[in-house]
Amino acid sequence: MADYLDRIGAGFIIAHPEFLDYDHVPEELVGREDIQSELASKFSALASPQGAARAVITGPVGSGKTVLAKTFCRDLQRHLSGKRELKVAHINCRNASTSMRVAQRILHQFDPGHPDRGLSMGELLLSLRKMLRRTSTHLIIVLDEVDHMLRRSGDELLYQLLRIDEDQEGTGSVSIILISQEQVLDVLETAVLSKFGQSNHLRIPSYDVNGLEAIIRQRAKAALVAGTWTDGILRLLAEKAAPGGDARRGIEFLASAAERCEFRQDEHSIKEISIDDINALNDTLAVDTITKLEIVDDLSGQEMLALLAMCRRLKTEESMTMGDVEKLYTVVCEEYEQRPKSHTTLWKYIKAIEVQGVIESRVATVPGGRGRTTHMSMPHFLPADLASRLELLLPKRLRR
């Protein structure tokens, strides 16, 4: 009756689905090495028994702010193990959007058994300070999406946390990391801002295509069965996610392609993610592709011929070289009884098509040989759909 459920957990393609979860914290953070070093330099004082630090991390969605903070705190605890007792309280302020709820969660993460209900803000912080002193622990507080708390409750909690060591023997009880998409420094009061310091602000850019490829490769190695993906497939997924620079989109595209490949497995299927798996229509891809097919309508007849040649190859291959384009372009010109243009002119056509965002190009090694050449791919469109539209438009365009 429920045989259709047998493929759930079959593991044809996906061996460890947990590594395709956005919230998975990898053992090594890829694509952010320079920013990791910069963050570490701001926490150099923690090597001292009385040292504390603070940082503000801002950047767009999917730029890796949260995973940067989580991997940094984990690695810092390991690095200082045996030298200083560190604990981490990571609070998502979208879920705890008032200063009272944030303070309660900080106390609960430090000591899960400590009562936090019925206590005032001052009593919560006093309890926290006593426990830190009693256990000789340094607490790193990470306030993720802190703008939600600041909009509802202001920065009074930050001010109190920054002053937690006042009137006490010794210093260095608490370090603070703020994470936000917004420029949160602009909404902090002068007293709080002066303690954080403008120099402690780390701005994280969106990922470039190489960073996205590194992340997708890391997740593929961890989550998928060996041999079920190729370097070209991973590059195509990275190029598809590159316009937004969002790592989550890259992971989503990998997961969707792997799930599609898993779904279609039978005794005749090749256990490897294909171009069709990447281009399988879903709601998101339909918005990204079908509604934009008209972008090719204004191309010249020769540009359409060149693009049609690429579409026909890219239906089944993740990329093609300039040599491939020339050969297929000649074949398409013969089909439509047109005289092929020179190499230089064809190159101009390809660059004009790339400017429209229809294709992507990059210089890489020649497959199976030496030297380097230009490789073309089509990460944002379905080649089959573009080919159908071009075949419809070309006869009329060539009669002009």
Pick the closest to residue 121 from 140, 143, 148, 102 (CA basis).
102
Residues paired with 14 in a beta bridge? 224
Options 1.10.8.60, 3.40.50.11890, 3.30.1330.60, 1.10.760.10; which CATH number does 3-19+207-280 get? 1.10.8.60
Q: Which residues, including other chains, have CB under 8 Å from residue 6's CB and lie 6 or more apart?
A: none
What local confidence, expressed as pLDDT, does residue 80 receive? 93
What local confidence, expressed as pLDDT, does residue 285 receive? 46
pLDDT of the chain, 400 residues: tens digit per residue: 455 555 565 678 999 999 999 889 999 999 898 999 999 999 999 988 889 999 999 999 899 999 999 999 999 999 999 899 999 999 999 888 899 999 999 999 988 887 767 788 888 888 898 898 888 899 999 999 999 899 888 899 999 998 888 766 656 789 999 999 877 877 888 888 888 877 899 999 999 999 999 999 999 999 999 999 999 999 999 998 898 899 999 999 999 999 988 888 776 678 889 888 887 744 444 444 444 778 888 899 999 999 999 999 998 888 899 999 999 999 999 999 999 999 999 999 999 999 888 998 888 776 666 678 888 998 888 888 889 889 988 988 887 6
What local confidence, expressed as pLDDT, does residue 170 receive? 58
Considering the chain, tell me which residue range(s) the CATH 1.10.8.60 domain(s) occupy.
Answer: 3-19+207-280
Sign of CA dihedral 297, 384, 395, 291: negative
Residues paired with 56 in a beta bridge? 178, 201
Considering the chain, tell me which residue range(s) the CATH 3.40.50.300 domain(s) occupy.
Answer: 32-203
Distances from the Cα of 265 to the Cα of 10, 19, 233, 317, angstroms: 10, 21, 18, 20
HSE-CB at 86 with a 13 A cutoff on CA atoms is 27
The token duo for 232 is 């070209």
The token duo for 283 is 């709601």
Considering the chain, tell me which residue range(s) the CATH 1.10.10.10 domain(s) occupy.
Answer: 291-398
Tell how strand 320-321 and strand 372-377 pair up.
antiparallel
- Beta strands across the sheet bearing 360-365: 320-321, 372-377, 360-365
Q: Which residues, including other chains, have CB under 8 Å from residue 213's CB and lie 6 or more apart?
A: 234, 235, 237, 238
* Whole-prediction pTM: 0.79
State the Cα–Cα distance between residues 318 and 364, nearest whole angstrom: 14
* CATH hierarchy code of domain 291-398: 1.10.10.10
What local confidence, expressed as pLDDT, does residue 9 receive? 58
The token duo for 167 is 């009137």
State the Cα–Cα distance between residues 325 and 344, nearest whole angstrom: 13
State the Cα–Cα distance between residues 333 and 250, nearest whole angstrom: 36
What local confidence, expressed as pLDDT, does residue 371 receive? 72
3-class SS letters over the chain:
CCHHHHHCCCCCCECCHHHHCCCCCCCCCCCCHHHHHHHHHHCHHHHCCCCCCEEEEECCCCCCHHHHHHHHHHHHHHHCCCCCCEEEEEEECCCCCCHHHHHHHHHHHHCCCCCCCCCCHHHHHHHHHHHHHHHCCEEEEEEECCHHHHHHHCCHHHHHHHCCCCCCCCCCCEEEEEEECCCHHHHCCHHHHHHHCHHHEEECCCCCHHHHHHHHHHHHHHHECCCCCCHHHHHHHHHHHCCCCCHHHHHHHHHHHHHHHHHCCCCCCCCCCCHHHHHCCCHHHHHHHHHHHHHHCCCCHHHHHHHHHHHHHHCCCCCEEHHHHHHHHHHHHHHCCCCCCCHHHHHHHHHHHHHCCCCEEEEEECCCCCCEEEEEECCCCCHHHHHHHHHHHHHHHHCC
Looking at domain 32-203, which CATH architecture does it have? Answer: 3-Layer(aba) Sandwich (3.40)
What local confidence, expressed as pLDDT, does residue 283 receive? 42
What local confidence, expressed as pLDDT, does residue 44 receive? 92
b/e code 182-195 from CB counts within 10 Å (16+ = b)? eebbebbeeebbeb
